[in-house]
A = this chain, B = another copy of it.
Amino acid sequence: MSRKGILAVVSGFSGAGKGTLMKALLSEHADQYALSISATTRGPREGEVDGREYFFKTKEQFEQMIEDGELIEHACYVGNYYGTPKSYVMEQLEAGKNVILEIEIQGALNVKKKFPDTLLLFVTPPSAQELEHRLRGRGTETDEVIRSRLKRAVEEAEFMDHYDYILVNDDLETCVQEMHELIQAQRHKTSQNQEFIAEMKEDLKQF
């Protein structure tokens, strides 16, 4: 039975460890996953490569993509556009790869509206204390930035209920394993097996 891949959206608090989690998942199961690459109008940061971290676009190019329906979702943050190019995602799903989008909550909910089978995953540290601890532990942010991230987490927490599953990232390896199993499990979803069900119904009629 050839199956399409699963479309999963991962969101979560800044400091929940989404990035590390994604990297570990993709390196452990490289043949089964594709990480979607976003398009953005913000300029590349040092070390960022076009087509690897992001597809870097001009405002005009980006707005053309919106107009042409080439984006699954898009949003504006701090004056820049961010969006998910549709063609790459569709190609990978057709090829049987699970595609993971790491996007913000509003984008996540928009994807779910367009593609109801999308698996919405919310990644969180085991506690608010641990979230603060991790944000401070990075040692790279000012107190002000940390406080603004924590304030934002308060707002984001209000949307946790809109997600299908909550993944507590306590131990990285455990969380990677759980995320993989969760996504694998979706391959058995009734909505993912419509072809099989139709065939079964048809073949049973011979009796």
Chain A contacts to B: CB under 8 angstroms = 1, 122, 124, 127-129, 131-132, 147, 150-151, 153-154, 157-158, 160-161, 163-168, 178, 181-182, 184-185, 188-190, 193, 196-197, 199-201, 203-207
Contacts and interface: CB of A to CB of B under 8 A. Distances in A.
A165 B178 contact: no
Contacts of A203: 127-129
> In the complex this chain forms, how many copies of it are found?
2
Contacts of A164: 189-190
A34 B153 CA distance: 38
A190 B207 contact: no
Contacts of A193: 166
Contacts of A150: 204, 207
Contact of A207 (B128, B161, B207): B128
A74 to B, nearest CB: 26
A190 B161 CA distance: 6
A203 B154 CA distance: 9
B189 A157 contact: no
A201 B131 CA distance: 12
6 contacts: A122-B190, A127-B203, A128-B200, A157-B204, A160-B200, A166-B196
A165 B190 contact: yes
Contacts of A168: 1, 196
A193 B197 CA distance: 32
